[in-house]
Amino acid sequence: MSYVEMPGAQVPIRMWTDPASVEDVALRQLQNVATLPWIKGLAVMPDVHYGKGATVGSVIAMRDAVCPAAVGVDIGCGMSAVKTSLTANDLPGDLSRLRSKIEEAIPVGRGMHDSPVTPDRFHGLATAGWDDFWGRFGGVADAVKFREERAVKQMGTLGGGNHFVEVCIDSDGSVWLMLHSGSRNIGKELAEHHIGVAQKLPHNQGLVDRDLAVFVADTPQMAAYRNDLFWAQEYARNNRTLMMALLKDVVRKEFKKAKPTFEPEISCHHNYVAEERYEGMDLLVTRKGAIRAGSGEFGIIPGSMGTGSYIVKGLGNEKSFNSASHGAGRRMSRNAAKRRFSTKDLEDQTQGVECRKDSGVVDEIPGAYKPIEQVIEQQRDLVQVVAKLKQVVCVKG
């Protein structure tokens, strides 16, 4: 489908989904965002759903301003994927050992490494800029500086919620490695700190929703936020890079005879800010639950833990600010999923996947998400499908 355009106070709301399918609270959030004086465009992805301040699945372009809640609290959250030389025939019938080895190598939930994981531990991984990156931690908000030891030891860890590590097979039988994670709790604390700062600024006092508070250009508050924002985005990318290195090590050890090799990694943020130019204007584009899909750019759009995912190539549609969805998108809250589904439902919906099937992950059940095929179909003018993947191992946070 192409987009549907709805009227908004300052800008039209371009929606790559049927507005009737969007929950009322999310529609109100979109209308609220469209009232912001600084907004220059709003694109809505097919996986849109309610979020804090701004919906998940929205792309907001502003001039000389940025809204921290429109980035998402897990700054830099995103995906990485890599195609391997392994095929489905190389995989054992029982994948429980592989899953266990992944869980041993990559801490999940609130877990962290006993000692820091650094890029010099891995052959071929770039080490340039690593010391400079950590040196810049001293310049982030005082409110989180004391978290440095935890931030260091959490580098290369998965986290919880909807984060995952997967081993997948594509339609041709090739094995892929894929993971989803962010800036761990350090990005969340930075985001919440700056949202609190923004809410107290005079220019934000008349907003329809205080969670939509913004920073404006050429102010010390904007400078401080940009510094912490871009550091956290880099943290998230480094985190995924190190996790993928750990995952590759597991695969090398478990499949020594096959001597696996790996193609170049695909990596994309889906909670972040980028400086981009549209219609002759330099804009700050926030993607909250959306990926960049510039012409020829590779991206990853995952489904739920039982349905599979897509590798895509962007078509460069400027109406969406060169963006596409970040996944299937939730169709019910975590609490609603826990009330509606049982562990038996989880077992039924994740048949053929080596994964947790206990009450702790019922909120991540496939039935709590929108159908990924429908989400892909609704954005055929935004991305081209390159590969469809089906997970056979899923490690949840």
Q: Quick: pLDDT tens for 184-216.
A: 989 999 999 999 999 999 999 999 999 999 999
For residues 254-260, average pLDDT? 97
Residue with tokens 């909670």: 271
Q: Which distant-in-sequence residues (6+ apart) come within 8 Å of 89 by Cβ?
A: 173
Note whether 211 and 52 are within 8 A (CB). Answer: yes
For residues 318-342, average pLDDT? 94
302 is in an annotated binding site: yes
Residue 127, token pair as written in the block = 């080490």
Q: What is the pTM of this model?
A: 0.95
Per-residue pLDDT tens for 47-103?
999 998 999 999 999 999 999 999 988 999 999 999 999 999 999 999 999 999 999
For residues 340-354, average pLDDT? 95
Cα–Cα distance for residue pair 306/358, rounded to 1 Å:
14
21 is in an annotated binding site: no
Per-residue pLDDT tens for 218-232?
999 999 999 999 999
Per-residue pLDDT tens for 361-382?
999 999 999 999 999 999 999 9
Cα–Cα distance for residue pair 189/392, rounded to 1 Å:
34
| Amino acid letter for position 384 | Q
What DSSP designation does 330 have? B
Sequential DSSP letters for 164-176: EEEEEEETTSEEE
Residue 11, token pair as written in the block = 């800008």
327 is in an annotated binding site: yes
- Please give the torsion angle defined by the CA atoms of residues 222, 226, 209 and 144, in that order, rounded to the nearest 10 degrees: -100
pLDDT at residue 33, rounded to an integer: 97
160 is in an annotated binding site: no
- pLDDT band, very low/low/confident/very high, at 263 (cuts 50, 70, 90): very high
Pairwise pLDDT comparison (145 vs 79), residue with the higher score? 79
Per-residue pLDDT tens for 167-190?
999 999 999 999 999 999 899 999
For residues 240-265, average pLDDT? 97
Per-residue pLDDT tens for 277-289?
999 999 999 999 9
What DSSP designation does 369 have? B
pLDDT at residue 124, rounded to an integer: 86
309 is in an annotated binding site: yes
In sequence order, which ranges of 14-135 are alpha helices (DSSP H)? 24-33, 96-105, 130-135
Cα–Cα distance for residue pair 257/42, rounded to 1 Å:
51
What DSSP designation does 333 have? -
Note whether 306 and 392 are within 8 A (CB). Answer: no
Beta pairing partners, 301: 310
pLDDT at residue 236, rounded to an integer: 97
- pLDDT band, very low/low/confident/very high, at 132 (cuts 50, 70, 90): very high
227 is in an annotated binding site: no
pLDDT at residue 1, rounded to an integer: 57
**SS3 breakdown of the chain: % helix, strand, coil, rounded to 5?**
35, 25, 35
Residue with tokens 């600024």: 201
317 is in an annotated binding site: no
Core vs surface per residue 254-277: b (16+ CB within 10 A) or e: bbeebebebeebbbbbbbbbbebe
pLDDT at residue 233 greater than cutoff 80: yes
275 is in an annotated binding site: no
Note whether 354 and 95 are within 8 A (CB). Answer: yes
Note whether 111 and 163 are within 8 A (CB). Answer: no
Q: Which residues are catalytic?
A: 326
> What is the residue-averaged pLDDT of the chain?
95
In sequence order, which ranges of the chain are alpha helices (DSSP H)? 24-33, 96-105, 130-135, 142-145, 148-154, 184-199, 220-254, 334-340, 343-349, 372-377
How many other C-beta atoms are found inside a 10 Å radius of the C-beta of residue 218?
7
pLDDT at residue 59, rounded to an integer: 98
Closest-CA residue to 187 (of 134, 155, 232, 154): 232
CA distances from 22 to 6, 235, 256 (A): 13, 33, 48
Sequential DSSP letters for 278-293: ETTEEEEEEEESEEE-
Instruction: Match domain 4-331+369-396 to its CATH number in 3.90.1860.10, 1.50.10.10, 3.40.50.2000, 3.40.50.300.
Output: 3.90.1860.10
pLDDT at residue 330, rounded to an integer: 87
Q: Which distant-in-sequence residues (6+ apart) come within 8 Å of 134 by Cβ?
A: 152
For residues 375-392, average pLDDT? 97
For residues 148-167, average pLDDT? 94
Angle at 120 between CA 119 and CA 123, to 5 degrees: 95
Closest-CA residue to 165 (of 58, 242, 280): 242
